[in-house]
Structure 1
Amino acid sequence: MKITQLNIYPVKSLGGIALDTAELTAEGLAWDRRWMVVDDVGRFVTQRQLPTMARIRVHLEADALVLSHPEVAPLRVPLAVGALPRIPVYVWEDRCEALDEGVEARDWLSDVLGDWRGSGLRLVRFAPEQRRAVEPHYLAPGERAHTGFADGYPLLVVSEGSLDEMNRRLAAKGLDPVPMSRFRPSLVVDHATPFAEDGWDTLAAADGAWRLGLRKPCQRCKITTVDQHSGEIAVPGEPLRTLVEMNTRAAPGGYFGQNAIVLEGEGARLSVGDDITMRTRS
């Protein structure tokens, strides 16, 4: 089995970046979900509220995060952490310390996205010393993990076989296939059996350089219905409705992919084409 995709999303819910190689950190792939868009009270804002966030492209240069949109000049945000104001922000029920990227970023987001229910929008950075723990009741005894601004886990692992089966079901309904980008995975692997990842306990480099623990099935939301290039919803409710109908978890909701934590290998590098091994749950 091999890695076929590596993706990061430096700003939560904005465009992703496909990589050939990536560094593994305790909080997932380097630079993943280090920034986030929030409203005036610090509550996170995503494509669930503003699907057009998908139109904002994200690039990483040697010294800057660059946000681009067809209607305005790009925004450059230094990668180096400066003397920025600290504010509390919220991801679901978690309160985090963040750094406010300032007026220029706020105005840029206003030009591109407008406001959210009368609230302005700000770009914030995960504070370097902040630790946001992964929910412990899904971890094995003795395990500890933390993440950045991701919904709850450092990584999301999906197999190609799962997407193939989803698209087969869509085709049977006369609907167009959807790309893997709809599900915003961190790692994609070339296993052909649909939803095989639901039965995996660990995923590891063939040479033992790193090891991930797959700890919780990922319940999907309306972001799966948003075209990740145009920000449009061509078929309301799809492919989420079909995923719910597939009932892959014998539980309410639609599930696709496995949330994962880093067990070993901080500082290791992962590359597309790497051989990997998996261990199933006993």
Structure 2
Amino acid sequence: MTHFILSGIAVYPVKSLAGIHANSWPVTEKGFQHDRKWMIIDPNRQFLSQRKLPEMALIKTALTAKNLILSAPGMEDLFLPIKPVDGQLINSTLWHDQCDACSVSKEADQWLSDFLKQDCQLVYQPDEVIRPVDPAYAKPSDKVAFSDGFPFLIIAENSLTVLNNEMQLNLAMTRFRPNLVISGCPGYAEDSWREISIGAIDFRLPKACARCSIPTIDPETAQTGKEPLITLNRTRKWQNNVYFGQNALHNQCGQLSVGETVHIKLSGAKQPPI
């Protein structure tokens, strides 16, 4: 049985805003606690992301026991309750999913609208709302918050090393927005992982992660370039998509900590098969 090490944990409280790096974090039924619990929507109740508004990358997030804190250049920090009071129920659209959500506050909406220069609204997913994962890849009991489709994204450190070498660049892992980073394994080793365990939590890896334009955005400046999509199109293209990292589902709740051992319990054909 092969094992490696969990070297990074990242949580993204608000979909498409900057994330939080942690040494240890609780895992709930929907994934990391508070991960993608909040989302920004436009006046048509469609979700917003860096694909449309790269400046979202500049909004930093922080969590305390009581507050979600948003900060951005030129803005006063915004403190929001981590357990929002019941707001207005809103049926929002996230890709092809209709998602029940609740409004947060007029103050939050104005703060975000001012910074992003776009009318928008902050919403959150109440704990009791159940958004299932695509049944083609999941069990009926699998749940997710406002992630694109899966509770976790896993990337090996050396996968980025390989990609950076191919590009002759030094892009940061933060561009790819993984939840879990694994060290000690070869580049793209995760392509063949089907079942792994990290500490006391078991994971299924049913589907490679198709990448959009977000990794081309510098998270420090919100400036957009051409890489890594040019190189991924050359080296990691399959069925009209490019892939980097693996989506994952978890079998238990608990706690994950950096430094825990990663066991590869089941391997299979590479995803993507290139």
Q: TM-score range by the shorter chain?
A: over 0.9
TM, length-normalised to structure 2 = 0.93
**Conservation of the 8 A alpha-carbon contact between 2:30 and 2:143:** yes
- Determine the structure 1 residue equivalent to 2:163: 166
Per-residue CA deviations over 1:119-175 (Å, capped at 9, x if unaligned) read x10000012211111111123xx564110000000000110111011001001xxxx
Is structure 2 residue 271 aligned with structure 1 residue 278? no
Equivalent-residue separation in structure 2 for 1:280 and 1:35 (angstroms)? 34
Residue 253 of structure 1 corresponds to: 241
Secondary structure of 1:110 counterpart: helix
Residues 204 and 87 of structure 1: is their aligned pair in 2 closer, same or farther, counting only changes over 3 Å? Answer: same
Structure 1 length-normalised TM: 0.91
Distance in 1, matches of 2:86 and 2:12, equals 24
Task: Provide the rounded CA distance (Å) in 2 between the counterparts of 1:17 and 1:87.
Answer: 27
Query: SS at the partner of 1:33?
Result: coil
Partner of 1:215: 206
1:1-282 correspondence runs (5 A): 1-115=4-118, 120-139=119-138, 144-171=141-168, 176-206=169-199, 209-233=200-224, 236-247=225-236, 250-263=238-251, 265-266=252-253, 268-282=254-268
Q: Secondary structure at the match of 1:201?
A: strand
Q: Distance in 2 between matches of 1:101 and 1:112?
A: 17
**Counterpart amino acid of residue 200 in structure 1:** W
Q: Secondary structure at the match of 1:163?
A: helix
Distance in 2, Cα, partners of 1:6 & 1:150: 16
1:93, CA displacement in angstroms? 0.8
Identity %: 35
C-alpha displacement at 1:17, in angstroms? Answer: 0.3
Residue identity matched to 1:227: D
Q: Is the 8 A contact 2:15 2:40 kept in 1?
A: yes
State the number of aligned residues.
265
Deviations 1:48-73 (A, max 9, x none): 00001000010001100000012110
Matched residue SS, 2:76: strand
Counterpart amino acid of 1:238? Answer: E
Does the residue aligned with 1:14 lie in a helix, a strand or coil? coil
Query: Following the alignment from structure 1 to structure 2, what is the Cα–Cα distance between the partners of residues 89 and 191?
Result: 41
The 3-state SS of whatever aligns with 2:57 is helix
Structure 2, unaligned runs of 5 or more: 269-274
SS in 2 for 1:138: coil
Aligned partner of residue 146 in structure 1, secondary structure = coil
Cα offset for 1:83?
Answer: 2.6
The secondary structure found in structure 1 opposite 2:136 is: helix
8 Å Cα contact 2:176/2:215 also seen in 1: yes
CA distance in 1, matches of 2:31, 2:223: 29
8 Å CA contact 1:106–1:123 kept in 2: the answer is yes
Please give the alpha-carbon distance, in whole angstroms, between the structure 1 residues aligned to 2:50 and 2:198. Answer: 33
Answer yes or no: is the 8 Å Cα contact 2:24–2:255 preserved in 1.
yes
5+ residue gaps, structure 1, are none
**1:280 CA displacement:** 3.1
Question: Per-residue CA shift, 1:244-270, capped at 9, x if unaligned?
Answer: 2112x643221000000111x21x111
Does structure 1 retain, via aligned residues, the 8 Å contact 2:196–2:204? yes
